[in-house]
Structure 1
Amino acid sequence: MNYILKTLNNRKFILGVWVLLALFLGFKQYHKGSYNNYLIFKHVYLHAVEHLNLYAAYPQEYGDTNHYGPFFSLLVAPFALLPDYLGTLFWQLANTLFLFFAIRQLPLAFKKVNAVYWIVAHELMTALFSFQFNISIAAIIVLTFAFIERGKNFWAAMLIMLGTFVKLYGIVGLAFFFFVKRKWNFILSCFCWALVFFVLPMIFFSPAYILQCYQDWYQSLAEKQQLNASLTSMQDISVMGMARRISGNVYLSNLPFLAGGLLLFALPYLRIKAYSDLNFRLLLLASTLIFTVIFSNSSESPTYIIAFVGVAIWFLVQQRPYQFWQIALFIFALLLTSFSPSDLFPKFVRENYIKPYSLKALPCLVVWLVIIYQMICSKFIQTKPVHAA
């Protein structure tokens, strides 16, 4: 038993498992011919080189359409230049290692960081099956928090702007603004990095083309919001999606849900004295990771790698010994959110209840509401950050 526990807490062993997951699933999906998302990403660069519309449909090349910003063309370029059999593997590996590195920077004890790795491993697999960039979005949010904790404003600002110019989600890193020391330095860094990411693609492709791309991007995102808000799409696994699909009313507006969600999200900021408590700040990180997903009608099953990192952090900052309801809620989230899309969950329940009603979002919503309650009502004392080794 001691040997098993020692192995599970061996950081090199965990890294080996994550790397094997990335390579195995990349290899498997490539040889199965199931790597459509990677083809979309690859062609963002190839189409930029040819000055084509990045957001038009190209059914002869891939299914669906691109919804990533013009800067993404440069980010994906090193992979797009490789043959697909190599590009797919390196893409999976790069996203996985980035998230592994980001989680390692969390100000948690060594064993708790290891627990985060194991808790999110299955959700990582779900994202790897579809070559998701959301693995790196989760890493960007976590690493932004870690850099702010360590006073590295310049690099935190870089990550926020990177995530924003690639997929907009990165903007949620500004949720940690009130924890920033030297705020004007941070603001200036954000503006500088925004300018860099805005201008850099113009150097490679031309200012006129990139400016047009930004207009096309805005249009594509607006159209995508309309398409996602349906009773049958693979997206809208969100609070709004649950409401629409359970009620059968496709015309339910996002606005009331977003307004209520933002109000609840903002309420803990009133507890200014609690900012000095590490657990309070970690709960805000967990809240941000979950909120980003459950209040977006663009969320699909693999997007939940972002939210489930938040669930793991929430569970691991709870005081020991765990109360029964905390363990029950965590298991509920593990089963319904993480395991439900897989063969580990009964197919009948998955196909007839989980998918049709977007119930993958339900445990994350409950966890998020608990986090908000804890941040508002719990007593917090000042603690010093404990950086993982």
Structure 2
Amino acid sequence: MALTTEEIIEGAFLEVCPPSEAVEWLKRKRESASKTPLLMRDDNKYQEEILYLRNDAFIEFGLARYGVNTDVAQRIYEREHLGIRCTLLFSFPNGGFHSFGDRFLFHTSVPADIQELCALFSNSTLSDNILIKLLERKAPFDFLSDEMFESTIIALAKNPRMSTPYDDTHLDGYSDHTYHKVFSCAWQLAAVVPVTPRWANVLYYLLNACHPARGLDPLEMIRRWYFPTESADQVDAGYFLRSRLADLLKADKALLGASDPALRSSFYRRFRPTDFPSWFKFAESDGDQFLDSALHNPNLWRAETDRETLSRLSWNHPDPRSDLMMVNQFRAVEGRMRQQHPEWFNGDE
């Protein structure tokens, strides 16, 4: 296919421009093409080839960070050092995998180096298929040792894809299914990984950043994550994971009446004050447990009267060390809520 006049002129510019301008050009092209990720690899083939042939280290980094041409990316991956390879895996569309399937395009096999794997699973453009294969430990990721799998899960927890709700602007049943299956596979790890304090921490780190799965009953999973403690009032290693798993349950009277304080904590973080008009009385029966969690309940920050009640409870909370810990915690959360939801505070003086 013949080049357009615009492509010829762009090519001439890219042959002679300073490296910094070449990288800026790549960045602009990547940003403008990001709305059609499946088509990006057909763009800029001629221009990226010109930039690659300049054999400039800064430009090569720009190609790794913003390029979309598979042929160029493969050559860079094969010959370059770990830092550039990680940049490619972190940045390239779908992490260098084929758009439809799980074939890795940069090499004959997927990365086996743990740092490369962590870079790969930090890539926010990975397809649902690739994420599901990892979470289910299926080929091409079935070779991962337990230690490598754990490290990739920690990296995945930082991936914004895991906390981003599905965009249903354009309805697509299959896309909706696979997108939510990623969430489901992540939460279901709590049913299959070894029950150890370390895995309790790793899973909490992942699920605390992960959008809730839908249609999943967490009760059996919750029962797995109890650990013995030396005293009855000591928090065990599974406490925070159980509390996060309980977020899949309704914030109703049954959850409020749970004997496990981890489950009640989940209730206090999520209940609606309109469903429990006398909610402030929870502080009388559950002390620290209630206020520590309720301060982070966004439903209690929407109305001025509920915010005032939270403030009063914080000031009235026992303060044996005179450090005003609850008051300071209230103010810290208030500052965050004002920043995230200024519309809730429009009526405040």
Higher RCO structure (Cα 8 Å, ≥6 apart): 1
TM-score (norm 2): 0.26
Q: Which has the higher helix share?
A: 1
